[in-house]
Structure 1
Amino acid sequence: MKKYFAIITLVFLLVSCDKKSKVEKAVEEIPVALKVNRFDQAFFEASPKDLPNLKAEYPFFFPEGFDDKVWIEKMQNKDWKDLYAEVQKKYPDFGKQTSEIEDLFKHLKYYFPETVLPRVYTVIGEMDYNSKAIYANDKLIIALELYLGKDVKFYTFPEYLRQNFEERQMMPDIVTSYAMRKIPPPTDKTLLSEMIYYGKELYLKDLVLPNHTDAEKIGYLPEKITWCQENESYIWRFFIEEDLLFSSDSRLANRFINLAPFSKFFLEIDNESPGRVGQWIGWQIVRSFMENNEVSLQDMLKMDAKELFEKSKYKPKKNE
């Protein structure tokens, strides 16, 4: 009996691998060539006399209402120039990252053929961690000052934010911005709707970032993924027993969905937990739904959260 089970398992794995390889082979055949514009270099290597040409070439980086003195001061400011030097040290050449972005857009084109291939711009911005990578219309803007490594001297952010100022988070951040155009926002403010929304985004990362770890997709340290896996049934039981899933209490987002150093059960385990455990549980629900239903990715992304949950057959893994 054991031998029979082993054979069945092997056949299943071979079929799964073959299916995956067929997808990846199809992805490889999709032609994608992206042009990267190093605006960070163009700006900080320029002199004041070059400003008119810069504004003509990159008008969208020079909003109206700002005197030229603002841009000239930025060009010549020592702190900005020091930050630019750090960016140049980390990214003197963007070839490796360009290849990774091209591979990502091959995957996006496979699942969404209508995807517009963007012109890529690297910039040095104002350290807005909510806008690390922006996909908009025909442009992809990447703020390189937020991918220098968590320990650079320029960062004064708390650890839970700095841990994702690493190069490995660049592709997941691009997908997050892209997903905003593909996943309808929640139709209500229940915790479940918020969980499923982010679960859909993370499931999309499963498909288009096959070489990234779960930790990288959600922006956790590896040990925090382990914590979620070991405590999945406890988290779920807490949500159920506290009647949180269909609650519209606005405070729940800050407790379990939004960026935070830890989640807020208001129990001793809080400091051990990562923030955003609601997103992680939502991810497991969406994974369960896709395993148990024959639904296209596009249709799943549009589904109502309650319907998706009810059809997911989600059952948290029991603690050992």
Structure 2
Amino acid sequence: MARLAGLPLWQRALVWLAAAVVLVGVVVLAAKLLRTLPAVQDFLVTYPGGTHPPEGTPEGFPAWLRWNHFLNFFFMALIIRSGLRVRTTQRPAAYWTPKKRGRGKASPKKISLDLWFHQSIDILWLVNGLLFVVLLFASGQWARIVPTSWDVFPNVISAGLQYASLDWPLENGWVSYNAIQLLAYFLTVFVAAPLAALSGWRMSGLFPSKANGLAKTFKMEWARAVHFPVMLYFVIFVIVHVALVLSTGALRNLNHMFLGADAGGWVGFWIFVVGVALTIGVMEAARPVVLRPIASLMGKVSRN
């Protein structure tokens, strides 16, 4: 490790890339050898890796779900970008102070413009997420991403072995997800998202400053230890999610989520491209010169 640390950055990157390729090769080879064993073959027949939602679970992707999905991606991209700016910027270009409170209240707390933008997008993301959960249960779509049987766990192992051997499980996202997808969506919506929201709330100015008992129970150290790793989880989830969407029937998958149709064709793809371009454009435009006039509508913006 000491020798590796002394190498130039590009050489270290090549070493890590080579190690990753070797590791992937070993995993694929091991998975293929395992699948030659009769006991493993029987296991794959008993647990093929798929899931079966309860009777009456709706199929397809309604319009509200498609819009919510895009807005979730849009807000998450802005949250990750702004969060990294907050974490890495040493001298903010501007600061934001909320409007003055009434007498007897604590003085408004000044924060960087980057942090104001990060927290503002957080609120929009939370509203979008709460709307998603409400509509998810109201429509019956919840059964597509919530495990309803213990069989999900052996099916996760089965699907993982199939992915690792490069003989991937059959996909039919219009009807249901495989066990890994189902569990990943469940953890993202009902575990990672609440952890991100709670830890972010604890570190923000929205946390009640005089709630000493709550502050002792809900410690700042815990929030800081959780918030950044959860953000990394979301980054990894998005990368893997997009890679699988594009590698398991890209046109059909994109038509599912952007057109609401179980069909081929390029319409969903071009809607996806426009959505990604819009997201990147807003990410690049979210600079102090653009954010200052917007932030000034809700408080005071200053250079120091």
TM superposition score category, shorter chain reference: under 0.3
TM-score (norm. length: structure 1) = 0.23
Larger fraction in helix: 2
